[in-house]
A = this chain, B = another copy of it.
Amino acid sequence: MSDSEVRDLNACLHTLAIEARELYLHDTVPVLDAPPSPLQFYRDYVSSNAPFIIRNAVGHWPAITKWNNKFLKETLGDKQVSVAVTPNGYADAINDGYFVMPEERQMKMGDFLDTLSEDSSSNGVFYLQKQNSNLTTELSCLMPDVDDHISWATEALGKLPDAVNFWLGDKRAITSMHKDHYENLYCVISGEKHFTLLPPTETYFVPYGDFPAAVYKENSKGEFDIVPQPDIGTVPWITVDPLSPNLKKYPEFGQARAINCTLKAGDMLYLPSLWFHHVHQSHGCIALNYWYDMEFDIKYNYFKFTESIGDICRYHKKAKEKIKKKESS
């Protein structure tokens, strides 16, 4: 490909992102006064793959006033739960050339809650975040305090959620940028969650790499070793931190227009399928999210196409850069 040809593809990929912003997205996440009707939800948001927030959408749930560390300790103190433990708060993230998953530890809920207390001497960052519908399985006794599905979303999408996940953890715990094949309704019960969002039409700006899989494992000295997991092979993962992007290394990411938003207790975010998201939180923040299977329809079809064109463009850009470097050396 000649320079001008690569520029042609590059220009198309930029135009896609810019026109999305102009046609149907906003500078900020729109805030609705009340839940949409099922039809409005599908037509105005799911179909056009656009997020929204409803302030105080779940303020009426008993969970909002009931769930705190004391209550959880009393109710679930002896319950065994799966907790993700990392040295730095980054579970499922790149470290030292690996895609490193957390050490998954079975522990009593009471002991986990102790790791969040101010005077905790625990080693590492603890995050209750197992996304296997842990609310309906490990923590099902909490279900009466919340809705087991979001009725207008269930009606709109024509199915029940595939998973309801409970999140509780340290302020240092970070969900690194990624995307899911789910329509996601994210509700904060206490504290705050901070989201950085990017639409799938900006996929070209988001750099990926392939990394061998590994897990953290605390050793006898209290250090976290990175233990390779050759059986898993390599994992494609996003290489940029949207909160402090290395634009010298990933200049294209400078073209991305991230949208930030914060959810407080009672708020709900509709996070559309395939949107890139990075999440961090206040200390001890409790949240729930409802994952509904996405449709593998025309949006997904076009997204895969866009990814493949982005791959071609990036490949030829890199090839050109290599040639230029060779010529100048």
Encoded as 1 (CB less than 8 Å from any B CB) or 0, chain A from 295 to 327 comes to 111111111111011001000100000000000
Residues from chain B with Cβ under 8 Å of A151 in the complex: none
Asked if A48 lies at the interface with its beta carbon under 8 angstroms from chain B, I say yes
7 contacts between A and B (CB under 8 A): A9-B309, A13-B305, A15-B305, A16-B301, A20-B301, A24-B298, A39-B42
Q: Is the CB of B12 within 8 A of A5?
A: no
Q: Is the CB of A12 within 8 A of B46?
A: no
Of the four ranges (under 10, 10 to 19, 20 to 34, 35 or more), the interface on chain A belongs to 35 or more
Asked if A57 lies at the interface with its beta carbon under 8 angstroms from chain B, I say no
Q: Is the CB of A297 within 8 A of B39?
A: no
Residues from chain B with Cβ under 8 Å of A201 in the complex: 298, 301-302
Residues from chain B with Cβ under 8 Å of A230 in the complex: none
Residues of A within 8 A of B (CB): 1-2, 5, 8-9, 12-13, 15-16, 19-20, 23-24, 38-39, 42-43, 46-49, 155-158, 201, 295-306, 308-309, 312, 316
For A5, the closest partner residue in chain B by CB is B1
Most buried by B among A2, A5, A19, A295: A5
Kindly state the separation between the CA atoms of A211 and B101 in the bound complex, as whole angstroms: 59
The answer to whether residues A302 and B306 also contact, given A39-B155, A42-B47, A297-B23 and a CB cut-off of 8 A, is yes
Kindly state the separation between the CA atoms of A158 and B46 in the bound complex, as whole angstroms: 15
Checking B155, B156, B302 against A302 with a beta-carbon cut-off of 8 angstroms, the contacting residue is B302
Residues from chain B with Cβ under 8 Å of A304 in the complex: 15-16, 19
The answer to whether residues A156 and B43 also contact, given A1-B1, A16-B302, A312-B12 and a CB cut-off of 8 A, is yes
